[in-house]
Every structure is written in C-alpha cells, then in structure tokens.
Structure 1
Amino acid sequence: MVELIAESMEQTDMFNVTVETFEWNTYVGRVLDPEYQDRGNIPAIGLSGTFNPGSFCNALHHSSNIGACCNLNGISDPELDDLMDDARYGVEVAGDSELRGERYDKVWNYLADERYSSITHFDLATSVSNTDIHGFEMWPFQEGMYSYNMFAPQDEQVMWVDRDNAAGDSDLSDLTEGGTLSMAIGANIESFDPPHSSDTTSTLAQGFLFEGLTANDAEGNVHPWLAESYELLDTQGVERTAYADYMSTVGTTEEGAIDTDEQVIVQHPEDNPAEDDEVRVLLPDDATEAVEDGTYGMQYRYNLQEGVEFHNGDELTAEDVIATYEYAENSVIAPQTYDSLLTAVQVDEYTVDLFAQVPDAEAERSLPGLLILNSTQVAEIEKGNLDPREGNTPIGTGPYEFSEFEDAQFYEVTKFDDYWTEQKGVSEAFSWFDGSGDFPDGPVIDGFEVEIVPDDSTRSGALQNGEIDSTYGLNTSTLDDFDSSEDFLVYGIETGGYEYIQYPVNVAPFDDTRLRKAINHLIPRERIVENVLNGYARPAWTDLPALAQGSGTADAEALEEEIRPTNEYDIERAEELLDQVAADN
C-alpha cells in the first residue's frame, strides 16, 4: 500500500519519497513517541474503530489525543474539536440521533476540507479455520473475534470443537463439549494489563480472562453483563465550565504540558497549557466533590451480579469496579475514558454509579467500557505491571483463566471451573436472554492454545499442515486457495478497522492544506483494494464505515456523493495544487 502511494507521489516529479519499514512493536513505539510529530514523517498505520462514529475522527484528530493513539502528528484544531464535541455531547444530541448525524456530517466535511489524515480503506476482517471448528461467526472488531465466538448469548453465538464431523451446516443441536482449540496470532502479546495497553493483539488475549459491566451485540446494542442491570437516573444540562469552582490550579511545563502526576478529568476550556504558566484542571478528588454537590452531566447506576467469582476465588463487588477505574487513571486508554467519565462512586456492596462530565450520546457504551480487575491484585502492583512477565498472573472473572505464557512464543488458557454464568444458568444470569433452550450456560471448549507467529506464510502453512485450527489476518493472496478447499472455511466481514496515513501538519511544507489535498488525490484507493488486498477491503470514500453510519450521518449516500470527489485518484488535480504550493514558495 505504502509503496503504491510513494510511486504515485514520485510520478509527479515533485516528491522524493523514502519508505522505511520496522518490526511492528518498534514501529508502534516510534509513532507514539511525543517527539514524533516534529520529525516530518508520514506514518501509515491501522486503527480499530467502534460502533461510535466519533472513534473514526476523535482518535486521529482531537487535540486531547495528541501523543495517545492515534493523533500521531500533533493535530490541534479548536474549531474541529468543537465540531466533534458538538456531535457527541449535550442534552439535545444525546437524545436525538438524527441531529447527531447532521452534526457529524459537518465533521466529515471539515476533515475533507482540511485533510489532516487520509483514510485509505476499511478492512474486511478475515479468518480461516479447519472444519473441526463449528459455530464460528465473524465479529466486526478483530480484538473481540475469539472472545465473541467462545460465548456471546446476546447473539446466541458459541463455537465448539468436533473433530469427527465437518463444520458447515451445524446448529446448536450438534454442539459437542470439550476439546482444545489451537490458534495462531500475528504479533506478540505486549501486555495483559487492560487499561495500560491498546494494541489489538493484547486486547484479544485479555478477552479470555476479563469481562466488562456490559457487552455489545453485533449491531452495537448494549446488554448488561457483570452488571445485572443498569439505568440512567439523571441528566443535567451542564457544560465543562460548570466545574470551575471545583478545579485545582497546577503549573505547566516548558513543553506546554500540564504539570501534574494526577489524572486530569477536565481542563478548563479557557486555559491553554502551551501559553499559560498555570491552568485550572479537575482532578479525581475535585470530581468527587463536584458529584457530592450535585454537579455532573449524567448519572448511570449499575447493579452488579451477585456471586461472580474471580479466578482467585474473590467475589466481585463494587470495590473491584471502583479500583478498576482508579487503576485506569493516567493509563494508555485514559484519553478515551476521561473524555466522558467524571467519576465512579460506590453506592453499596453491589451497586456503582458512573457519572459523565456532560450529557453524552455515547455514555451508555463509553462509561462502562473498562474490563473489570481484581481490587486485591491491583492494590499490590505498580500500574502497568499486570503481566506474567512482571511476576503477576492476570486475574479476571472471564470464562478462562491464565495457564501459561512464553514471551513471543505461545499463550494458553484453560476453562474456569467456577465461571459464574454456568453456576447461575444463562437465563437467570441475563434477564434479556430469550434464546434457544439448547444454548449452553457457558463456553464449551476446554482450553485455547495460542501460538505467536508473526509471519503470514508460516501461519498459513501451520493451518494447512494441521498444526493449528484457526488463524486470522492472513495475506489476502492466500484466502482464495483456502476458500476453494473443502478442508477449510473462510470468514469475512467489513469491520470498523481502517488504514490511514497522517500528515505532519506542524512541519513545513505539510502545514499547507493544498499539499495535503494533493497527496490525498495521489492515493490509488481502488488499486490498493484490488491489487494489494485482492478485494478484501473497501475504498474509504468517506471517513465513516457502514457499521457506524446509523448515528454518524444524516444520509450516507448523500455524504459519499459529496465527499468522494475529494478522495478520488486525480493526478491532474494533484499537480494543479502542487503547482500552487510551489509558486508560493
């Protein structure tokens, strides 16, 4: 993909392009370096969005995400920040999805005008399994693919191993319990610590062990999970300036950062750490005081399932939920957590209130977004060290418990004997479940063996040779061969995953919008999809994938008709813009 873009740029005789490649984890470290934005590089990277349309613009472009994943090149545009915030926050938009779509249309048009990033295509997630694996269905986010398949009563989804009968038209009446599923993943597991990691592979590995207060179905609807039930108790039309009286004053650094070790919940909108010696910020204790005084945007109450056991035998209580949210402070995912969350408050042993800073259209999904950790464990370790490499066995409430991990080699989990849904029964555990009586009360596979095999061809060969049962992310050139074989099943779905390049907007000449638009017209999106990805993707004519169109646009067809011309491959238009830039320099 990158080579095609580089070739296209050089054909104009206006660029001399050098392409550098790195091992994946080295690359992630480079692009997340705070100094990366000053190097003048154009990174190419992929990101997994969500059902929230904001995840396709906020992560790349919101000023609060500079230095996090994945505003890599220091994009800071207050007008754009306001547009994105207006599409998500406020009483009106929180209660009106049509209005929300109209406001997001302004965001997509603004991004087309400024062209800070170029999304090239939306991924078609694929996986391949042998016919011993039954009941498998694709999930639109790679990191949740196996946790979804092992047990998802919200969609009556469960997979099983049957080595005597070939998969194909299997249904629940054919379900077989037991067995071990062997799979291969394409990158090392960088961390087992959920709040302190954000890469897809780590999240996939954590999905066997940990669970959240809620779970989504394949359409993005939210269902109670570790929370037996939840409800919105109150909404107040406050703005972030309402917290001014509760804010603390802290200093700033020479680099323009806020100088505090505590989690900044809200920064006063009128203060600028790049220009001011001191700024007003809402810190965790300040947020608690504000809530006690009745100042907050939304209040959600979560009533926990009783009798849920962690893998170490501890019972899940509100204390664990509160400890999890405290543990997430200043973590890798803190920017995405504290863009909405104000604070978490324990009501009683099995009840927790989560408060949003302002009315938030995504609060139902975003507030309970953390995987719940064991309070005893996180109280005894340093943040970020919830990992076997640090001598800490990860402990969750999930259906599988940690068994063994050899760094960069393999990972094994075994079924947890006291998994809570099997103790309660799925119908009792989930009042919303109205599925078949044949659906099991928990996952039916005894264990998973996960081989870490970065090379695509090696993973493909391992699957062909019967060394593993399943893998994903194979080179698209091999998928047709698997699809034509009776011994394998290929699964695919358009996802929230997308690839993009991002321009170093703070480094000349990329600070010129015309240059960025010119390069965007030199991206051969259709060639990338057809020639590089063999059709297993869709060109990104807009920045919004199909799964987030429901609340992300007022009219998807009209949006594409309007914005697609700005993303078409057009070498003549690119050269016109480049000539304009050259004439002014």
Structure 2
Amino acid sequence: MVQNNNQSGRGINRRQVLQGVGGAGIVAVAGCLGDEEEEGDAPFQIQLEVNADNDDRVQMVELIAESMEQTGYFDTTIETYEWNTYVGRLLDTEYADRGHIACIGLSGTFNPESFCNALHHSSNHGQCCNLQGINDPELDEMMDSARYDMDVVDDPELRAERYDEVWERLAEKRYSSITHFDLLAPVMSNDLHGYSTYPFTEGLFSYGLYAPEDEQVSWLDRDSDATPEETGLGDLQEGGTLRIGAGANVDSYDPPYSNDTTSTMAQNFVFEQLITSDADGNVYPWLAEDYELVETQDIDRTAYEEYMISVGADEEGVLDTDEQIIVQHPEDDPFGDDEVRVLTPEQAGEAVADGTFGMQFQYDIREGVEFHNGEELTAEHVVRSYERYENSDLSAQTFDSALYVEEVDDYTVNIYAQVPDAEAERELPAVYIHSLEQVDLEGGDLDPRQGNEPIGTGPYEFEEFVDEQYAEYSKFDNYWTEELGVDSIDWFDGPSEFPDGPVIEEIEFEIVPDDATRSGALQNEEIDVTYGLATATLDDFEQSDGFFIDSVETGGYEYIQYPVNVEPWDDERLRKAVNHLVPRERIVENVLNGWARPAWTDIPQLAEEAGTADPEALEQEIKPTNEYDPERAEELLDEVVEEYDL
C-alpha cells in the first residue's frame, strides 16, 4: 500500500530515538538518467521527483540532490507533482522504461513478506509497489520459499532464517534503497480523549474510534478542562462530530481498485473484513465469528498441472486471457514461450473439488451483521467479494496465496490457499466485504464520483463526498457490535463499561493537502486531529499545552527504487554508489528533527519476530552497505564511468 506520509514501539519517545540511533527521514525521490545527447559536465543527468504537498519531502529531495552533486558525477533537477498525479505516474507500468529513479512510501503489514515482496517480486510490477519492473527469478524464489513452504509453516525459526537470506540478497543487488522507518505522529486537540495510534496509516482513525481488540475507544469532550492523559472510560461521552484533517484526496472508494493509504483510510469507516488485528499484530475473528485451519497439504504449484489450460503470450509477456490467473506453471516463461499453462478460477474450483489445495481454512460468518442498505451478511457476500478482486489493482496481492473461495452454507465459507503459506492466517481473509448491491460494479465504479455511494458493514455510513474538499460520515444505527453487544465477541474480555460500539456520532474528513494549512486549521480549532505534519511543526505542537501527540513507529517506510532495466542502472555498482550518497542521519537531524528512525535494514521492528533470526546481527551485517560513504560511492562511480565511457 503506497503512503503519502510517513512488535510496534508504542509510546515512543522520539527524543530517545534521535539520541540513540539517529532517526530517519521520509524521502520521496525520483530521477532519471539523461539522454546521451543531453549536455552537462557530469556523466549522469538526474531528474528528482517528489510530491509537492509535503514540505519535509521536498527538503529531503533537495538534500539528496545536493549530496549527489557534491561528488561531481551528477547534474540534478527537481520536479514536483500533486500527490495523486504522482501515484498514478509511478504505478504506470511504462514508468520502468523512463529511466527515472523512483521513490514512494510503503505501508506494509505485520508480515515480513510485505516489506520485500511488494517492492521486488516480479508479480507486483504495476501494482504495489514494484515500480521499476524488477524481475529477479532467484529473488522471487527466495521470497516464496520464506513464505510458501511446509517447512517454514512448521518451523518459524527456519522461516526467519530464510528471510535473512532475502535481506542479504537485497543488500547485494540494491534494487531499492530503504531510507527510514516512519514515526506516525497524529496531532490532536485536548478535546479528543481516549485516542491511541495504530501503527499503519490506513487504519489510523478507524482503529482509534473503536477497536475492542485493544479496548480502544475515542470520544469528544469540548467542555472539560482535563487533558486526554487525565481521563478514562469513566469520563466517556457520546455524540459529537470528529473533524479530521486528511493530507491527500480520496482517490477511490473502491477497495480492490485503490492502493494509496488515504483512500483506504476513508474506506475503513465503511468496509470491514473477516478478521481484525490489534496494535501488536495478533489476529482476531471479526465479521467471522470464528475460524479454523482444517487441513494443510504438502504440495507445490506444479500439483495443478493437470487442471491448467494453455493461453497465448505475446513478446511483452502479456497473456491472452481475460480470466484471473490464479497460478502460472512455474516452469513456463511468458516472455520466452508462445503459450503458458495457467490456472483460472474455474479450474481452481475443479482442483479443490478433487482435493488438490495447499491449505483449507473454514470461517463461520457472524449472524446478524447488517449492511448499510439492510442486507444481512452471508457466505455469498464473502464469495462474491473475492470474485470482485479478480483482475483488480490488488489482484497480485490477493491471489499470490488465495486459490479458491466456496460457500458451504449460508454462514460458512471455505478459503483455500494454493500451497502451504506461513502467512495465510492474516493474508487469505484480507479483502473488504461488499454488498450484493454493489459487487457487480465495474472496477473503479464503486465511488460517489460514479454515482455509487459505498455500502459496507462498518460503524459509519457514507453521507457525502465533494472531490478534493471533504467527505462526511454518520454513525450506523444498526452496527452489529451494538446490535449483538460487544460481549457477544468470544475473545473480548474488556471492562463492563467498554461501549458496544463507537460513541462519536459524525465524522468530517477534511481534505487539506498543504501541511501549513492543516496545522493552522488545528490551531484555529477548525479540525480536531491530523497527521503527516512537517516535523518542525510537530516540535511546536509537542511543546503546546493545548495539544498532544501519540507517536508510534510504524510498519511503513520510504524507498528509492532504481530503473534496473535501463542502462547503466542495470549495473548494481551504480545503484550501490547512489545508496551510499543517501545521508540518512543528516535527513533525520536536519530535516525531520528526529521524528523517524534510519533504515539500516529493510525490515521494521514490528515484523522482526517473524522476519529475522537475529535483528541485531542482521543490522550489524547490513548497516555498512547503507551508511553514508562518499568515498566508496566515488570508487564505484569511477568504475561505472570507465566501463561505460561516460
């Protein structure tokens, strides 16, 4: 999931972060190799690109450009783009041919695969977030073996060891440069009580409003003199309108056809999934009342060979089928073969009927859950929702594991994985459940701009949206936790005074891309909470008595990604050289004022338990490859210039 801002370290003291390990920055850099005809004293003509609505990012791009130019090898220019334009630009598959150095933010999951697979697996080109068409079969296999294998399902230690091999391979090849791990720091007025920050931007407000898994609920009290730190559930008040300042426009309300954090943030008020996660990554049933792993079989994807059909492949590797490709035969090459064997949904169903699958999970759907249009949630909603993810913008992430979804009865669903998957418990059910009224809409049409107001099971109903201005939501009167009672959730063991649903009545989601304008709106009491402010502004709010900041190290980072298919960027020496010119610690100290942590490795703290056998040893090994080292960079650049006669 691309982001335009920034076990989790809750309640982080960011001053300690700065004093201890330096912190890191939110870099959003892109660039290009100049045409051969282009004149200039330096061998490399580089265009840096950044979204213009983030002051910190612009300053960081300027700092990186300065660092590159000081070597004498680069002439740099900087271009800025409005956020949604920038996202569309980078996710265009043709971007990989333009020779730009791209950078954008990633918001992952609690699973380590999301911090390597999304950026570097060949199947994610043009989705999120392989921007440059990286296609390294050996790396693909390494990432797959750390997740899709009976051995790693049964042995978490082996899984961690295999991920360490992935991080080492990424350091060796340097397809991307991870610059920092975000520190998510929403700023709130003292009118907002009970709020706690979720470590992923897209769930920042839906979690803060109501999350029984962490006994989390927020309320408004505009009359009390007590600060949020001084109040508890006994002071809870119902009603009021929460005014949120959002840092970007809602690009889409259609879950399978959006891949930016602001859109998902806006969707999360309306839509829900079968499961939910607490702030430490533990998984709980949600729209599913319960679930279980029924069976695991030790197979690989060649087991589907007898069910596969052959489809044509053109010279660019595009397959001649409109069907969702569930599995492609691992021995076939769409770039070299005229035909490729594939498994589509119809054949996947045949395989499951014959007992060929990797894993089977069974989900018991919670009875009595109502959609905003009055439909009752059933197994059919789940099955049809998965079908809507076919060939969507998120199809690569959805069907990297999912094989088939079937209705057992009105309130029971089986979800099958293609092969044994160590991350299946979280990843298989991770789709937003649609109403039957909207499940047949064309991709992108589930959006008020297309005349279709989003309908879900969530705690808030969609009311109004004015493009690039605001969205409004109201509390859903028949929300299922209130109808059934929070005590009906088997795993909930919170206090008796914990409410059955969210207590804030209305939400105003104000779209204010400019940092300074959002900051002023918060100070002028025009909004109650915002995020992604310039770090110099955060310092001011931190020292003010009228506001508070709940900062958390997130599962997100910024990364530079090199155009590996364009000469001379296919030479890893050039990529390593530029990586040594990214001044991570200077960015933190001079731009971000400590509101982040440098990414000496590619995995954030909240995914370390499953993603590395020894975090300290990994950092000791990988950090030297990421340190600012102009001398080493110039040695590598000399070699590249000499070889290419630049």
TM bucket normalised to smaller:
over 0.9
1:443 counterpart residue number: 502
RMSD: 0.8
- The answer on 1:376 being equivalent to 2:453 is no
Q: Deviations over 1:279-305 (max 9, x none)?
A: 011101010100000000000000000
2:268 counterpart residue number: 207
Q: Secondary structure of the residue that 1:17 maps to in structure 2?
A: strand
Counterpart Cα distance in 2 of 1:340 and 1:377: 25
Does structure 2 retain, via aligned residues, the 8 Å contact 1:210–1:397?
yes
Does structure 1 retain, via aligned residues, the 8 Å contact 2:288–2:366?
yes
Alpha-carbon deviation of 1:48? Answer: 0.5
Alpha-carbon deviation of 1:383? Answer: 2.3
Identity across matched positions, percent: 66
Counterpart Cα distance in 2 of 1:388 and 1:248: 39
1:317 counterpart residue number: 378
Which of 465, 478, 483 is residue 524 of structure 2 equivalent to? Answer: 465
**Structure-to-structure mapping, 1:522-537, within 5 angstroms:** 522-537=581-596
Counterpart Cα distance in 2 of 1:15 and 1:372: 49
Alpha-carbon deviation of 1:483? Answer: 1.1
Alpha-carbon deviation of 1:92? Answer: 1.2
Does structure 1 retain, via aligned residues, the 8 Å contact 2:241–2:507?
yes
1:453 counterpart residue number: 512
Counterpart Cα distance in 2 of 1:54 and 1:301: 24
- The answer on 1:236 being equivalent to 2:287 is no
Which of 560, 572, 581 is residue 501 of structure 1 equivalent to? Answer: 560
Q: Secondary structure of the residue that 2:317 maps to in structure 1?
A: coil
- The answer on 1:294 being equivalent to 2:355 is yes
Does structure 1 retain, via aligned residues, the 8 Å contact 2:311–2:339?
yes
Q: Which amino acid aligns with 1:67?
A: G
Counterpart Cα distance in 1 of 2:393 and 2:495: 40
Counterpart Cα distance in 2 of 1:184 and 1:226: 29
**Structure-to-structure mapping, 1:387-402, within 5 angstroms:** 387-402=447-462
- The answer on 1:271 being equivalent to 2:271 is no
Does structure 2 retain, via aligned residues, the 8 Å contact 1:131–1:168?
no
Does structure 1 retain, via aligned residues, the 8 Å contact 2:96–2:131?
yes
2:630 counterpart residue number: 571
Counterpart Cα distance in 1 of 2:499 and 2:576: 53
Counterpart Cα distance in 1 of 2:503 and 2:92: 43
Alpha-carbon deviation of 1:122? Answer: 0.6
Q: Which amino acid aligns with 1:256?
A: G
Counterpart Cα distance in 2 of 1:212 and 1:584: 53
Alpha-carbon deviation of 1:95? Answer: 2.1
Q: Deviations over 1:68-123 (max 9, x none)?
A: 11111111000000110111111110122111110000000000000000010011
Q: Secondary structure of the residue that 1:432 maps to in structure 2?
A: coil
Counterpart Cα distance in 1 of 2:576 and 2:442: 45
Q: Secondary structure of the residue that 1:205 maps to in structure 2?
A: helix
Counterpart Cα distance in 2 of 1:184 and 1:345: 41
Does structure 2 retain, via aligned residues, the 8 Å contact 1:123–1:538?
yes
Q: Which amino acid aligns with 2:443?
A: K
Alpha-carbon deviation of 1:582? Answer: 2.0
Q: Deviations over 1:509-568 (max 9, x none)?
A: 111111111111111000111211111010000001100001000000000000000000
**Structure-to-structure mapping, 1:509-528, within 5 angstroms:** 509-528=568-587
Q: Secondary structure of the residue that 2:439 maps to in structure 1?
A: helix
Does structure 1 retain, via aligned residues, the 8 Å contact 2:315–2:336?
no
Q: Deviations over 1:340-390 (max 9, x none)?
A: 0001000000000000000001000000100111123223x2222101111
Q: Secondary structure of the residue that 1:42 maps to in structure 2?
A: strand
Q: Which amino acid aligns with 1:444?
A: V
2:222 counterpart residue number: 163
Q: Which amino acid aligns with 2:605?
A: A
Which of 4, 14, 18 is residue 77 of structure 2 equivalent to? Answer: 18
Q: Secondary structure of the residue that 1:403 maps to in structure 2?
A: strand
Which of 280, 283, 293 is residue 222 of structure 1 equivalent to? Answer: 283
2:445 counterpart residue number: 385
Alpha-carbon deviation of 1:18? Answer: 2.1
Structure 1 segments (4+ residues) deviating >6 Å = none
Does structure 1 retain, via aligned residues, the 8 Å contact 2:196–2:550?
yes
- The answer on 1:418 being equivalent to 2:467 is no
1:340 counterpart residue number: 401
Q: Deviations over 1:480-512 (max 9, x none)?
A: 111111111112110011001100001011111
Which of 298, 309, 322 is residue 248 of structure 1 equivalent to? Answer: 309
2:109 counterpart residue number: 50
Counterpart Cα distance in 2 of 1:154 and 1:69: 28
Alpha-carbon deviation of 1:393? Answer: 1.2
1:153 counterpart residue number: 212
- The answer on 1:404 being equivalent to 2:464 is yes
- The answer on 1:281 being equivalent to 2:342 is yes
Q: Secondary structure of the residue that 1:376 maps to in structure 2?
A: coil
| TM-score, length basis structure 2 | 0.89
Q: Secondary structure of the residue that 1:103 maps to in structure 2?
A: helix
Q: Secondary structure of the residue that 1:111 maps to in structure 2?
A: helix
Q: Which amino acid aligns with 2:359?
A: M
Q: Secondary structure of the residue that 1:519 maps to in structure 2?
A: helix
Unmatched tracts of structure 1, length 5 or more: none
Q: Which amino acid aligns with 1:387?
A: D
| TM-score, length basis structure 1 | 0.99
Which of 123, 145, 148 is residue 86 of structure 1 equivalent to? Answer: 145
Counterpart Cα distance in 1 of 2:214 and 2:154: 26
1:486 counterpart residue number: 545
Counterpart Cα distance in 2 of 1:145 and 1:530: 26
Q: Which amino acid aligns with 1:391?
A: G
2:21 counterpart residue number: none
Counterpart Cα distance in 2 of 1:192 and 1:71: 23
- The answer on 1:97 being equivalent to 2:156 is yes
Q: Secondary structure of the residue that 1:123 maps to in structure 2?
A: strand
Unmatched tracts of structure 2, length 5 or more: 1-59
Q: Which amino acid aligns with 2:280?
A: E
Q: How many residues align?
A: 583
Alpha-carbon deviation of 1:254? Answer: 3.2
- The answer on 1:6 being equivalent to 2:65 is yes
Q: Secondary structure of the residue that 2:81 maps to in structure 1?
A: coil
Q: Which amino acid aligns with 2:264?
A: T
- The answer on 1:304 being equivalent to 2:372 is no
Does structure 2 retain, via aligned residues, the 8 Å contact 1:49–1:55?
yes
Does structure 1 retain, via aligned residues, the 8 Å contact 2:291–2:361?
yes
Alpha-carbon deviation of 1:21? Answer: 1.4
Question: Which deviates the most, 225-234 or 526-535?
Answer: 526-535
Alpha-carbon deviation of 1:253? Answer: 2.4
Q: Which amino acid aligns with 2:638?
A: D
Does structure 1 retain, via aligned residues, the 8 Å contact 2:370–2:376?
yes
